[in-house]
Amino acid sequence: MKQNSEVLALKYRPKRFEDLIGQETIAQTLSLALDSTRLSHAYLFSGLRGSGKTSTARIFAKALMCEHGPTSKPCDTCEHCNMANDARHIDIIEMDAASSRKIDDIRDLIEHTKYKPATARFKIFIIDEVHMLTKEAFNALLKTLEEPPPFVKFILATTDPLKLPATILSRTQHFRFKKISTVNIINHLSHIMHLENVEYQNEALEILARSGSGSLRDTLTLLDQAIIFSKHFVDVQTVTDMLGLIDPEFINAIFQSIFEKDQAGIIKHVKELEDYEGEMVVDELIAYLKERLYLQDPLYSTMILERFFRILSDAKSLFSINADGSFVLSLVFFKMVEALRIKEVDQMIEELEAQMQRPEINITAPVQAAPLEVKVPLEQAEEPIPVPQVEKETPSEPTPIQEKVAPTPEPVAKPDIGLQYFEKLVGDLNDRSAELGLCFSENIFYKSFEDNLLTWESCAQGECKDKLRHGWGVINHFVKDIFGFETKIKNLSCSKQAESEVSSGKQTQGEASSVKQDMAVGETDVSSVGRTNVSDSGNTKDMALNNISNTLNQTNVSQVVPSAEQTQPSYEQMQAQPIEETGSMVAEIVAGDVPQNSDEDAIQDLSCVSGCEGVDASTLDEASKEIDASTIMDEPMIKKAQEMFEATKITIQSKV
């Protein structure tokens, strides 16, 4: 009758090393030490409560006291084993340091070490919760613990070894008892339930083992309570009701509402959870997510589990400031709903790559490079067979014909890669600046792209010319990025302007011939006047020069300047080398300022600063007019500077 009333934690307390649960490493080490008689004078057992420290100390003491020992397998039949099992052995002294923690208690213990054991071969002192001793008590124990008599053994047990002085730790063999795994606890509970003839559910035992937090003694206490509450049938419902926990099915329904983004259902679940402690609910949710991770549920990906766990961890900090439990749970559930809407970085990159229009140049360019050079003779030989035209006009042509033509599709199809590049250039400019892209697309026309030489035609005028010149840096960047870093640009004059210049060329030639005749007449007049009247030669010469200048102002000055042919390069020299994109020269090319023909008039226009054709000098501002070097000394600012900086000679006489 007495045995039936004994609690499970004491009734099924381990009596041998083989009965220890979850501490196989420590049991094996102590067993080998006993069998080889390599014993230490002091041992320290540390670990979680209910992990088997005191039980191991008693088993080890019994193994030392056994008549057949020291042995790892005590007989449990001799007098010493029986007294050790009944905790009444005179030479096994247990001391609770939590109640006997002063220096006087340690002095009494040290006094007992001076006497030999009464009946056994060793005198063993088991000091439980040794970290509760005072500093003076530790200091008094040091010398005896370091060099005790050969018949004395110390076994210290504690749950907090960090509170022990380093001098104590260095004088003992330290065994760290680990937390007992849930699987081992469940197996041990199942074994006890079979011995007690009590029916149970495995899920209920899992809840009890999880609630014990790795302590076997705490779990056995809960099991004893569950057997009484459930009337000898331990099921999930009775265990959750007894512990105040949440049914796993209810937790599953909560997460189902979260994944469905059902706000009404979430609010309903939160109201039902008001009867439970909020912090305990969070712990149950974490345990549920841990179970989903181990089961590899496809609904709970690693990223989702990580987000949910962060949300639950943040919720625990709110409970520490006495926040309302139902409000914290509401925040937790709605934050989980928002976490499901956040896309992962890899997913966003994949979607962005799918939306982007990938250029086909990466596929066609390297494939066409070699076949175009090798199979040119084959193209000439097979010119009468227009394969691509046949495919476009007769799309219903059977596939066998395409298979026959398959060996030579690459030389037949000749897509202009440069044109594709140019279209991409226009698109990028439009994305960068709508006005710049519009001016570029309407005034710059693609011609060819060969050997890293890009040829285009520029017809920019007015505001578009200024915009293209101002945005040259952007255009040059995109050209380098799309066509290649070594790409050079060659500009062609606008064909539309060339047609208008052809019609006006004839009139220009007639005017030039008349100007030459007038110049000849002027020269003869000047020479004749010089011979006839020497005194009036200056006035006559000025009149002739004025006539010539007036005639030149009516026509294009650049047509009658003969030195331009010597100073400016010819068209063949300019055409021989491509134009480099350096400085403002490339900006002028894009804007259409630099002509590409050999017309001397156009070349001479480049040197025109002010007073050019079609520009009235009177309408020019001061900044755009040319400066006359002969009159620069008459400027007011120059005269003022001369007065300020002109050196003056000053003679100073000293009186002696």
Confidence band, pLDDT 50/70/90 cuts, at residue 155: very high
- Residue 503 pLDDT > 60: no
Q: Side chain identity at 375, as an amino acid letter?
A: K
Residue 339 predicted with pLDDT over 60: yes
CB distance 273 to 326 below 8 Å: yes
pLDDT given for residue 632 in this prediction: 72
**pLDDT for res 318:** 85
Residue type, 426: V
CA gap 435, 463 in Å, rounded = 11
Greater confidence (342 vs 150) lies with 150
Q: What is the pLDDT of residue 370?
A: 46
Tokens of 215: 């302590």
**Strand-pair partners of 43:** 155, 173
Per-residue pLDDT tens over the stretch 159-212: 999 999 999 999 999 999 999 998 999 999 999 999 999 999 998 998 899 888
Other Cβ atoms less than 10 A from the Cβ of 480: the count is 13
Torsion on CA atoms 440, 442, 443, 446, rounded to nearest 10 = 80
Residue 497 has pLDDT above 80, yes or no: no
Mean pLDDT of 291-305: 87
Please state whether the peptide bond connecting residue 298 to the residue before it is cis, i.e. omega within 30 degrees of 0: no
Which pLDDT score, from 0 to 100, does residue 512 have? 45
- E strand or H helix at 122: none
pLDDT top residue among 368 and 635: 635
Using an 8 Å Cβ cutoff, are 113 and 123 in contact? yes
Six-digit token pair at 230? 């459930």
Sign of torsion, CA 472 476 479 481? negative
Are 215 and 50 spatial neighbours (Cβ–Cβ below 8 Å)?
yes
On whether the CB atoms of residues 128 and 54 are closer than 8 A, the answer is: yes
361: nearest Cα among 489, 482, 488: 482
pLDDT band at 418 (very low <50, low <70, confident <90, very high): confident
Q: CA triplet 56, 62, 63: central angle to 5 degrees?
A: 90
Does the structure show a pLDDT above 80 at 613? no
Residue 136: band (very low, low, confident or very high) from pLDDT cuts 50, 70, 90: very high
Alpha-carbon distance of 65 to 506, in angstroms, equals 133
Q: Which of 9, 81, 5 is nearest to 52 (CA)?
A: 9
Please tell me the distance from the alpha carbon of residue 167 to that of residue 172, in angstroms, as a whole number.
Answer: 9
How do residues 541-591 score in pLDDT, each as one tens digit? 455 445 544 544 444 433 433 443 444 444 444 444 444 444 444 444 544
What is the predicted pLDDT for the residue at 188?
Answer: 93
Angle (deg, nearest 10), helices 216-229 and 202-212: 140
- The token duo for 184 is 């081992």
The dihedrals phi and psi of 127, each to the nearest 5 degrees, come to -110, 105
Instruction: Supply the pLDDT for residue 342.
Output: 75
Radius of gyration from C-alpha coordinates of the chain: 52
CATH architecture of 183-243: Orthogonal Bundle (1.10)
DSSP structural state of residue 178:
P
Does residue 149 surpass a pLDDT of 60? yes
Q: pLDDT tens, 2-25?
A: 445 688 988 899 999 999 999 999
pLDDT value for 205 = 92
More confident residue, 137 or 596: 137
Q: Report DSSP state, residue 131.
A: G
> Rounded CA gap, 336 and 261, in Å?
9
Comparing 625 with 328, the larger pLDDT belongs to 328
Confidence (pLDDT) at 25: 93
For residues 435 and 467, is the Cβ–Cβ distance under 8 A?
A: yes
Fold of 2-178: Rossmann fold (3.40.50)
Q: What are phi and psi of 235, to 5 degrees?
A: -120, 175
Q: What is the pLDDT of residue 546?
A: 52
pLDDT at 154: 94
pLDDT of residue 491 exceeding 70, the answer is: yes
Is residue 538 predicted with pLDDT exceeding 60? no
pLDDT computed for residue 501 by the predictor: 55
pLDDT of residue 156 exceeding 60: yes
pLDDT at residue 442, rounded to an integer: 85
Average pLDDT of 253-263? 91
The structural domains of the chain, with segments of one domain joined by +, span 2-178, 183-243, 248-346, 370-412
Mean pLDDT of the chain: 75
* Least confident among 300-314, 360-374, 476-490, 559-573: 559-573
Q: State how beta strands 444-450 and 453-458 pair.
A: antiparallel
Residue 172: what pLDDT? 93
pLDDT at 338 > cutoff 50: yes
Q: Report the pLDDT value the prediction gives residue 465, as an integer from 0 to 100.
A: 84
Which residue pairs, CB below 8 angstroms and at least 24 apart, start in 345-350? Answer: none
pLDDT in tens, 429-464: 888 888 888 888 888 888 888 888 888 888 888 888
